[in-house]
Amino acid sequence: MATNVYMEALSPTMEEGRVVKWHKREGDAVKTGDTLAEVETDKAVMDLVARADGVLRQVSATEGQTIPVGNVVAVIAAPGETVGAAPAAAPRPAAPPGAVSGQRGPAPGDGSGERGAVPSVATSADATRVKASPLARRIAKEAGVDLKLVTGTGPGGRVTKRDLETARRGVQVEARPTAGQPTPQREVPLPAPRSQEIVSEGPAYDDVPLTQIRKTIAKRLVTSLGPIPHFFLTTEVDMERAAEARDALNKQLGDQGKVSFNDVIIKATALALVKHRACNAWFQEGHIRYWNEVHIGMAVAIEDGLITPVIWNADRKSLALIGREAKELAEKARSRRLQPAEYTGSTFSVSNLGMFEIDQFTAVINPPEVGILAIGSIVQRPVVMDGQLAPRRRVRITMSCDHRVIDGATGAAFLKTLKQMLENPLAMLL
Amino acid sequence: MPNTFDVIVLGGGPAGYVAAIRSAQLGMSTALIEKEKLGGVCVNIGCIPTKALLHSAYIARLLREAKDFGVDAGTVKTDYGVAMQRSRRVSDQNSKGVEFLMKKNKITVAKAAGVLQPGRKVKVGGEVYEAKKAVLIATGSRVKGLPQIGLEINKTTVISSDEALFLEKAPGSLAIIGAGAVGMEFADIFHAFGTKVTLIEALSRILPLEDVEASDTLTKSYKKRGIEVIPGAKVKKGTPGKDKVTLEIEAGGATQKFEVAAVLMAAGRAVNTEAIGLAECGVQVTDRGFIKVDQNLQTTAPGYYAIGDVAGPPMLAHKGSREGVYVTELLAGKKPQPIKYDNVPSVTYCHPEVASIGLTEDQCKERKLDYVVGRFPFSANGRARGTGETEGFVKILRDKKYGEILGAHIVGEHASELIHELAVARANEYTVEEVELAIYAHPTMSEAVAQAALDSLGRAIDM
């Protein structure tokens, strides 16, 4: 019996996916779990895997083609099996009578409560046995939910009632943003000036189709700078003592990892947020959600845009751990292997363009968060200290605030605490 | 550093000692601090000795009724002191068993009072132990009296379970205040040893946390046996004398005054959170006095966790043990399944036994759930008839739409054992149909579970 290969929702907000590359070709033998194709979602490139054993047939999506979630892109058939006309996007093929010997017995949990002959979800050809509790199966069946698309958190990854409830809520929840900073757009080249002297060799312009992630960024950014009343606060922070602390820490850590300035700033930001809960919030329809936990979104530039992986409970993590996690998340982001759970749910964000030698800039708020920090380069500047001119390492930090939640004095108080923490890193130990 | 461990557990009760063993199994160096006997209240002055005494009570009743079964045991004489001595031996064996398990798992045991200090340290006598990963607070709870009405525990005429478990003789008469699990069990025990028992409960029914049908069945059973049951009663005044207590209670609009040889306080427990250095370490407590914990059972002070009674209700040994396992697995970097607090079984070991899991019928009504009741009485069960244990029933509350087992209530002999089938079912999200799908041996008490499941589907066979 043939099994359809669907374009699956590989992220919570994915509505369509672009087939980047087929790893298996028409006629290839495939096993459950094999990567069939790479699919670009709105957030990352992810693997579309085989959900049955057999031979790949009727590959209907070509590389580069964008396919809505739920549509059939291929079929996995038994060797030698003849497959009919291109399958429709039906949720599941019906089992032909007597097609498979050794059919399973009746499954428990028929709605009528009778000992009815309800075919079990997994048949022997459709080898994609979904692990799910009987109750979850029953609820999924009546609600028309495909259990394959639900992440199980029960023993051995089985889908439980709670997972279905979480999944159901996920559908209603607005997509979490990835916008974090006004990264330079990948510019579409402007038409060359029509000058007699200059004769361009190539075409006057190139039209580049929007990738999924650019579409998402575009969508998110206009929902940010448009409706959110931003205002900006800038402060200059002396980083000499933070630098000393960092050097001492790294010496201590040796080859067990490295702490960067960005890690120090993330930790200090998280600790300052604990003291200024007003800035650690989400602006939502009809209410403000003040978070008691601090999850810092860390903007990471990637080849084609940016994404903000999250350092969970950053206020309670050691600098060494933050350093390790930040490095891991940034690497995953660059190779576009972040899982949705790793880039959603932050309560405040930090964007750092220090490595690009930007002195200071303003970042775009990552809604529904209400604030974001823009970190410039750490540069030596002449500073007057105790009446003497001294070269000091300084950084300019600009906070973008959502005026619907944060007022000038609120944001300023938070920045003051942050500045004190960074200028006196020992305060972080308090 | 000889006094440095990965994990330090403060308190050797069922939460603490289980946590220590699991911690050691996971390869973490572990120390356990206990100022009294290992095993805590459960093993020494709680679950275990009461079960021994309840079995003595069961034998006494059985022998009195044996003539009907063709066995004439003559006049049955009981001696509470002998039963008590036996219960002590059982407790001691269990406590020694825990001691053996500590040695087997190479856990360092300090028999002293421990006081927490900042920096994941615990002061033990003159020494200071330091934990690399975490300190687990498992100091448990104790009985409490009602000093505001004159009933402060004086250990002679006003006693708690702590004293009742060491009496050499059963008192001539006994008023038990509080008809939860403890009150119910001591009423059963002392009645069997010839004490005139009066059971007083402030709420409108005995076993107020159980399903109404369970309370009703036990009220009938106790009254039939000659135990006086007074629910909805307010104790207005208690005047302890030298060898008696005068009680004034108000129930059903009338005030009555009577004398008893002793009063047993079985109402409520207080957690042991004093003088263990909580505030000094930044460990906060809730309005109700429990230690404040997050979903990982970590307290407000990082590196300090609370498990068992101190971490909040239900105050049950098996809930504490599971918390101990959960926290140590977290500390070892595993990802344990979250604890399902709505799936902790509750058992009262009186006769007949009362066991339950999940919601009561009243709770289903309050939550406006669409449910169906499946019931099966043991009077219709062949095995129960054979042993003469026909009191009680199995009651299953089934969600009408999806068949989820919302709650299960069993009253009857061996209810404490029978409930686990439904605990497994609920833990794995089996519906009523999966329970019924199994084939049950005949004749067994367990068949009543299957029949109640069928009854919730409207098709019980034996009724």
Closest CB from A113, A135, A155 relative to B404? A135
C-alpha separations of B105 from B15, B130, B365 in Å: 16, 20, 48
Which residue out of A104, A115, A138 would a mutagenesis test of the B interface target, given it has the greatest number of B Cβ atoms within 10 Å? A138
* Structural tokens at position A156: 């051995």
What's B4-141+270-341's CATH class? alpha beta
Task: Give the pLDDT confidence of B303-350 residue by residue, as tens digits.
Answer: 999 999 999 999 999 999 999 999 999 999 998 999 999 999 999 999
Q: Is A73 on the interface with B (CB under 8 A)?
A: no
- Angstrom distance (rounded) from CA B458 to CA B134: 52
Lowest mean pLDDT among A44-48, A81-85, B289-293, B402-406: A81-85
State the pLDDT at residue A210. Answer: 62
Task: Give the pLDDT confidence of B413-457 residue by residue, as tens digits.
Answer: 999 999 999 999 999 999 999 998 899 999 999 999 999 999 999
ipTM of the complex: 0.79
State the pLDDT at residue B293. Answer: 96
State the pLDDT at residue A203. Answer: 53
Is residue A246 located within the same domain as residue A383?
Answer: yes
Contact (CB, 8 A) for B56 and B192: yes
CATH of the domain at A72: 2.40.50.100
**What pTM value is reported for the model?**
0.60
Is residue A134 located within the same domain as residue A266?
Answer: no
In a domain, A378, yes or no: yes
In a domain, A400, yes or no: yes
Residue tagged active-site, from A23, A287, A295, A403: A403
Set of chain B residues whose Cβ sits within 8 Å of the Cβ of A142: 401-402
Is residue A158 located within the same domain as residue A221?
Answer: no
Beta-sheet strands, E only, within A24-170: 29-30, 35-40, 45-49, 54-57, 66-68, 72-77
State the pLDDT at residue B2. Answer: 74
CATH of the domain at A157: 4.10.320.10
Neighbours of B416 (CB within 10 A): 17
Do the Cβ atoms of B433 and A136 come within 8 Å? no
Look up the domain containing A78 and give its range: 1-83
In a domain, A321, yes or no: yes
In a domain, A409, yes or no: yes
Of all residues in chain B, what percent are helix, strand and coil, respectively (each to 5)? 35, 25, 40
Is residue A151 located within the same domain as residue A232?
Answer: no
Closest CB from A113, A136, A142 relative to B429? A136
Is residue A223 located within the same domain as residue A136?
Answer: no
Q: How far apart are the first and last CA of chain B?
A: 69
Set of chain B residues whose Cβ sits within 8 Å of the Cβ of A135: 402-404, 429-431
State the pLDDT at residue B132. Answer: 95
State the pLDDT at residue A211. Answer: 66
Radius of gyration of chain A (CA): 27
Set of chain B residues whose Cβ sits within 8 Å of the Cβ of A138: 402-403, 431
> Following DSSP, what letter does each residue of B172-212 receive, concatenated?
SEEEEE--SHHHHHHHHHHHHTT-EEEEE-SSSSSSTTS-H
Is residue A420 located within the same domain as residue A365?
Answer: yes
- Angstrom distance (rounded) from CA B302 to CA B299: 7
Q: Chain A residue with minimal CA distance to B338?
A: A154
Kindly report each contact of residues A354-359 with a partner whose C-beta sits within 8 Å and lies 24 or more positions away, as own/partner.
Answer: A354/A261, A354/A262, A354/A378, A354/A395, A359/A396
Do the Cβ atoms of B429 and A110 come within 8 Å? no
In a domain, A337, yes or no: yes
Is residue A417 located within the same domain as residue A332?
Answer: yes
Q: Is B428 on the interface with A (CB under 8 A)?
A: yes
Task: Give the pLDDT confidence of B168-184 residue by residue, as tens digits.
Answer: 999 999 999 999 999 99
- For residue A34, give the 3-state DSSP assignment: coil
Listed residues A51, A83, A115: the one ending a domain: A83
In chain B, what are the domain boundaries? Answer: 4-141+270-341, 147-267, 352-456
Q: What is the pLDDT along chain A (430 residues), one digit of tens a residue?
A: 678 888 887 776 677 888 888 888 888 888 888 889 988 877 778 888 888 888 888 888 888 888 888 788 888 888 777 665 444 443 333 333 333 333 333 333 333 333 333 333 333 333 457 889 999 998 888 877 788 778 888 888 888 998 888 777 654 333 333 333 333 333 333 333 333 344 445 554 555 566 677 677 767 666 767 678 889 999 999 999 999 988 888 888 888 778 899 999 999 999 999 999 889 988 877 788 888 889 999 998 887 788 899 999 999 888 889 999 999 999 988 888 888 888 888 999 999 998 888 999 999 998 889 999 999 999 999 998 888 899 999 999 999 998 888 888 989 999 999 999 999 988 777 6
The CATH number of domain B352-456 is 3.30.390.30 = yes
Is residue A5 located within the same domain as residue A144?
Answer: no
- Angstrom distance (rounded) from CA B435 to CA B300: 42
Q: Is A210 on the interface with B (CB under 8 A)?
A: no
Is residue A360 located within the same domain as residue A270?
Answer: yes
State the pLDDT at residue A240. Answer: 92
Set of chain A residues whose Cβ sits within 8 Å of the Cβ of B337: 154-155
What's B147-267's CATH class? alpha beta
Is residue A71 located within the same domain as residue A133?
Answer: no
Is residue A47 located within the same domain as residue A149?
Answer: no
Is residue A301 located within the same domain as residue A402?
Answer: yes
User: Do the domains spanning B4-141+270-341 and B352-456 agree at the CATH topology level?
Assistant: no
A23 in catalytic set:
no
Contact (CB, 8 A) for B355 and B344: no
Q: For chain A, how many structural domains are there in total?
A: 3
In a domain, A201, yes or no: no
Q: Is A113 on the interface with B (CB under 8 A)?
A: yes
CATH of the domain at A308: 3.30.559.10
In a domain, A19, yes or no: yes
The mean pLDDT value for B115-144 works out to: 95
Q: Is B289 on the interface with A (CB under 8 A)?
A: no
Do the Cβ atoms of B403 and A139 come within 8 Å? no
- Angstrom distance (rounded) from CA A177 to CA B420: 46
